[in-house]
Structure 1
């Protein structure tokens, strides 16, 4: 006989894509969820963003409005002169469903759409969690205002400097990539003929890339340039000027896109991550997004993997009695087991590619570039393997959705 399931209590720390996706999926799984954000609002920590089809699919299933979200693009990797090195080809059925493979958008619009999908009162802003405690009976979050929030499961979605990660596994050093990136966007109509394209180019020392975007019904383009820069060296140059200098010598339209960009729409950030954890969960707590696997933007998959994490975690908690410690442990282990190889692969590949393209010794750079220009190596490493990973994640979502439907049906009253 069907019975109404017990509604568990889940606390999520961190109001980024990982936290909001987790809250949405946990809510759909039938549990009570609170999302704690220390800032006055859930705020985008950057400007430009790309998503692959798998996170778009997850967002749609989570109830997020994905209609006209971003500009679907076909992606190629090229040398600085424009010679194609890699053609990223997804299956035709995926391209038909998502109108392309690589979705270009601005990060604030993704936040807005996630926020609009959250149930009322889920997000609690201006709430700083200072300490997390747990035992077999439950977990307790100690807030900066002195209150204690009790729950059954804690999810750390609190980024690369995660309190939850540090509580579970101790501190670990950040891995500096000694690279920095400049990114900006423009809605100049001059480049309209290049809509639907994403081009990622490399000179001997610098990556220069651009991709079509769509933001709130408006077509435009985002761009970025990336090169070596030691993390402990102060940077004081004008961002727009520095980006323009780095793009000099790249094929059109990258230099013109940067020239057409309002300097106020240019940002810079230093690349860093942490080595992948062997285990995410301990007791009644687990990690998602950058708290579990901080990833360089070289993967163009950080926000996407964070969104997928939140989706899969909530699906796995469907039908689980969160009062039962053994059930919680089993569910958290089954959540992270298939996620760890995928996310670790993306994180490590992003780090390795960054070092290969930007920190190779000068005598080796001509040999590297000749190999990339005249052999299929880069096509196999990036152009073939990345689409295969995307298709695999789409299939994983289908399987998770099937299990989720059974779990929610069996526990409906």
Structure 2
């Protein structure tokens, strides 16, 4: 007698969260497919940084990490170069992962993750328009009218997630009233310091750059961030606007912006949604931006999305998908530690953006005096972030099949 092939887990969304979830579930021994609404999985943005936990996750789920990105040491500074916070990752972590903070291009990560997917796992042009949890399975209706049954649905479908809306209703986006312009260049810029990521704050603008490596080429990515009315039109010339913002900054930033071709510059408005208290209900759960859309101030949005996949796979090792109680227990175990961690990152990123870019003009000198003369930012960012990274690595254990 032939044993019937079980319906695979469906991951909705082909971004970093969706691909990480699918690869992790495959590593856990579960059948899985990705449904992507667009004709191809494509990156949303150009620049990216990753901390050690997502690097560990990528390695564990089979993504080729050879030569991916460049190591950077992060500091928060004022416009005069005074260091307000020094983010020092323990040396053994730097040695294991090739750096405490890796700068890379987002399309490079997409190509590596796509290459790791087995043939047939990613199904493009598949728009899901309705979801129904029937207790023993989840039924999905596609835009074509076709219906698919799955024992578990993972909504990794971004900040505008229809799975999140199905589970918890609609919720407004939270406008940070900020925008970021970022770009990258492989032209030599002598002023740039290889391996350093200085986050420099003027009174109302943040300017930053970091080292990158892409297809054997070494270069730099940069970004400038300022307050911006979300109802206002974007600047007519992004590169010219970025040059004006970067001009007052010391060191390499103005030269890096000047060396960047216009077609290697992008802009995006910063917004999120307030964190959820639960991600899972029945046989459905969330991952990535669908669960915890995050401001770039955390420098951890994509990284947390990748780590979501790792922990989801870890919790589903050996779980029989026909057993509803076992599936729901696994999803509860998956979200229980992830929600406090991601919520803290989302909220810290929001608060930092407000403090640095929306403080009333009379309070800015007071803010800067506190940040320059007290250890507040060092404790909040310079010490807390490495501590959380170490805690995450310990929580990850030896691998998806070797939990801590």
What range is the shorter-chain TM-score in? over 0.9
Quick one: distance in 2 between partners of 1:117 and 1:299? 27
TM-score when normalising by structure 1? 0.95
Q: Which runs of 5+ in 1 are unaligned?
A: 406-413
Deviations 1:255-281 (A, max 9, x none): 010000001111011000000000000
Deviations 1:38-84 (A, max 9, x none): 11111000000000011001000000001111001111111122221
1:124 and 2:123 correspond? yes
- Aligned to 2:292, what secondary structure does the other structure show? coil
The total of aligned residue pairs comes to 402
Match of 1:39 in 2: 38
Write the mapping of 1:236-255 to structure 2, written as runs, cut at 5 A. 236-255=235-254
- Aligned to 2:189, what secondary structure does the other structure show? helix
Write the mapping of 1:112-151 to structure 2, written as runs, cut at 5 A. 112-151=111-150
Quick one: distance in 1 between partners of 2:138 and 2:96? 42
Quick one: distance in 2 between partners of 1:306 and 1:399? 19
Quick one: distance in 1 between partners of 2:234 and 2:402? 50
C-alpha displacement of 1:182: 0.3
Moved over 6 A (4+): none
Seen in structure 2, the aligned counterparts of structure 1 residues 5 and 85 have a Cα distance that, compared at 3 Å, is farther
Write the mapping of 1:379-394 to structure 2, written as runs, cut at 5 A. 379-394=378-393
Deviations 1:96-116 (A, max 9, x none): 112321100000000000000
Q: CA RMSD in A?
A: 1.6
Quick one: distance in 1 between partners of 2:191 and 2:311? 37
Quick one: distance in 2 between partners of 1:133 and 1:66? 38
Quick one: distance in 2 between partners of 1:301 and 1:92? 21
1:263 and 2:243 correspond? no
C-alpha displacement of 1:403: 3.9
Quick one: distance in 2 between partners of 1:196 and 1:353? 24
Stretch moving more, 172-181 or 141-150: 141-150
Stretch moving more, 28-37 or 250-259: 28-37
- Aligned to 1:190, what secondary structure does the other structure show? coil
Seen in structure 2, the aligned counterparts of structure 1 residues 8 and 392 have a Cα distance that, compared at 3 Å, is farther
Quick one: distance in 2 between partners of 1:192 and 1:375? 29
1:357 and 2:352 correspond? no
Quick one: distance in 2 between partners of 1:401 and 1:33? 16
Match of 2:157 in 1: 158
Write the mapping of 1:220-239 to structure 2, written as runs, cut at 5 A. 220-239=219-238
CA contact (8 A) 1:8 1:322 kept: no
Q: Which runs of 5+ in 2 are unaligned?
A: none
- Aligned to 2:179, what secondary structure does the other structure show? strand
CA contact (8 A) 1:133 1:140 kept: yes
Seen in structure 2, the aligned counterparts of structure 1 residues 6 and 324 have a Cα distance that, compared at 3 Å, is farther
Quick one: distance in 2 between partners of 1:235 and 1:103? 29
CA contact (8 A) 1:7 1:31 kept: no
Write the mapping of 1:64-75 to structure 2, written as runs, cut at 5 A. 64-75=63-74
CA contact (8 A) 1:8 1:323 kept: no
- Aligned to 2:229, what secondary structure does the other structure show? coil
- Aligned to 1:184, what secondary structure does the other structure show? strand
Quick one: distance in 1 between partners of 2:28 and 2:62? 13
Deviations 1:280-313 (A, max 9, x none): 0001000000000000111000000000001110
Match of 2:194 in 1: 195
Quick one: distance in 2 between partners of 1:91 and 1:401? 23
C-alpha displacement of 1:192: 8.1
- Aligned to 1:54, what secondary structure does the other structure show? helix
C-alpha displacement of 1:236: 3.7
Write the mapping of 1:8-23 to structure 2, written as runs, cut at 5 A. 9-23=8-22
Quick one: distance in 1 between partners of 2:403 and 2:102? 27
CA contact (8 A) 1:12 1:156 kept: yes
Match of 1:398 in 2: 397
Quick one: distance in 2 between partners of 1:399 and 1:339? 18
- Aligned to 1:68, what secondary structure does the other structure show? coil
CA contact (8 A) 1:74 1:102 kept: yes
Match of 2:325 in 1: 326
Quick one: distance in 2 between partners of 1:132 and 1:48? 34
C-alpha displacement of 1:191: 3.7
Quick one: distance in 2 between partners of 1:144 and 1:6? 25
TM-score when normalising by structure 2? 0.97
Stretch moving more, 120-129 or 83-92: 83-92
Deviations 1:359-386 (A, max 9, x none): 0000000111111111111100100000
